Structure 1
Amino acid sequence: MLLSHKHQFLFVHIAKTGGTSVRTALSKYRWGHKYSLPQFVCSKLSSFTGHRIGAKFPRHSKVIAAKEMLPDEYFEGLFKFVFVRNPWDLQVSSFHHIKRERPQVMQGHDDFESFLKWKFDPERPYQYHIDTSLEFQSDYVVDLHGNVIVDFIGHYESLQEDFDQACDKIGIERIALPHKRKATDRSTYHSYYTDETAELVANYFKRDIEILNYKFDDKA
């Protein structure tokens, strides 16, 4: 999550949706206001204490955290935006990330089909690095009653175009996004799935698919 007091925007960062590029482009807008010094001090103190003092929003906080912690009038005045990603594509991205960075947690399930079936097995013991990618993207954009409370939902599939719209709404110059963590080692996500594994994702992420308006045969 990235908050700019000067430009009155709140970026909600969902993992693996292009958010690292967005954060990089917008990071300079965190500063240049009257609260910059205490914000900087709080950020450093938070890091120094292992984020145990609640002095800043964690990188992947949900929008409800900001709504609960900020004054109502201030929160309502912010332009709140987020980027989301096709759930089937996100699971392919997660598979490659885990296989590259933490293959030991896969417990031998190193091909996509067996990994996905194991991942969605309700009897599987909890494993942080596996289960974080099973979070619902829709949880990042709703309040406690399930109402969408962000002002703009951009899409990974049209990242630059949607980011341009966000910049226009914020009132800053459009910025060419850096290609942070861009994958070049795979074909489109459709080729990874069988009918069975595609249905696994469809059933589990039904709420995301409905709220965020995705379908399996979207263009990558």
Structure 2
Amino acid sequence: MSRPDPELFRTRPGNRRRLTPPGEAELDRLAAAGEKSGWLSPLAYNLTISHGHRFVWYRVAKVATRTIRHHCESNGVVLDVDHAMRIRYPLASYADYFTFAFVRDPLDRFVSAWHDKVVDNNYYDFDPATHARMQVVEEFAAWTATHDLAAVPGTDQHLTLQSRMIDLNRVDFIGRLETFDRDFAEVCERIGAPAVPSAPKNQTAPGGRDQQVSAELRALVTQMYRRDYQLFGYSPDQA
């Protein structure tokens, strides 16, 4: 079986989350070849790919995704695979593409998700009584802790472990929201894009909206996201 053409994979003009029929058919063909063939990544990821600028971006929800996408769109960087969700990708096809991701302090990310998806919205479709209870961030953290945060699919992308959303065996560069200007400037230089935007557009800036964090919340988040703390070098005591 020949190496799949990387440019075969594109998302649909009217549905940026799904690949075009030829792209989906090719992934089905590769999957049918069996796991021993090694064509596809063992795990699925949320991917954005540009063939013209030759990069693969492993999108981590709640970590400057809108900022990065807006910068690409505003500066003529065509996103051929725009917002593909939970797909395995052909490894050999993108071996010479630059791969990158951005991460964030796990506690800040969790508080941001809570504000956005619970306080400002009812994204998880809680019943009225439960939604009222979830306005307390510790309650939402206790509910989140009942889920397997490494399960993809299965866990909401805004809560999934950041380390699970990145192909750590193949990523070339991992930037941080806390040093976004510097790190994204390096990404832009690597992919041949114009200069970095001035600041990320996340709803919750680094440091979180809540300056006072309870010991209960800190302990729950540390337990849930222990792997992220360990892999990315964040300290729970400094969140």
Structure-2-length-normalised TM-score? 0.64
For residues 102-129 of structure 1, the C-alpha deviation after alignment (integer angstroms, 9 at most, x for no partner) is 175253221222222233246xxxxx99
Q: How many Å apart are 1:14 and its aligned residue? A: 1.0
The correspondence of residues 37-186 of structure 1 with structure 2, limited to 5 A, is: 58-61=83-86, 65=87, 68-70=88-90, 72=92, 74-98=93-117, 99-102=119-122, 105=126, 106-109=130-133, 110-121=135-146, 131-142=156-167, 147-177=168-198, 179-183=200-204
2:71 aligned partner: 25
Aligned residues: 179
**Unaligned segments of structure 1, at least 5 residues:** 32-38, 40-55, 123-127
The amino acid that maps onto 1:206 is R
2:50 aligned partner: 4
1:213 aligned partner: 233
Residues 106 and 229 of structure 2 are in contact (CA less than 8 Å); yes or no, is this contact kept in structure 1? yes
Q: How many Å apart are 1:57 and its aligned residue? A: 6.3
Which stretch shifts more, 155-164 or 98-107? 98-107
More relative contact order, 1 or 2 (CA 8 Å, 6+ apart): 1
Residues 49 and 55 of structure 2 are in contact (CA less than 8 Å); yes or no, is this contact kept in structure 1? yes
Give me the whole-angstrom Cα distance separating, in 2, the residues matched to 1:130 and 1:95.
15
The amino acid that maps onto 1:108 is A
Whether 2:219 is the aligned partner of 1:199: answer yes
Give me the whole-angstrom Cα distance separating, in 2, the residues matched to 1:60 and 1:15.
11
Give me the whole-angstrom Cα distance separating, in 2, the residues matched to 1:129 and 1:93.
21
The CA RMSD over aligned residues, in Å, is 2.9
Residues 4 and 29 of structure 1 are in contact (CA less than 8 Å); yes or no, is this contact kept in structure 2? yes
Higher helix share: 1
Structure-1-length-normalised TM-score? 0.69
Q: Percent identity?
A: 24
The amino acid that maps onto 2:56 is L
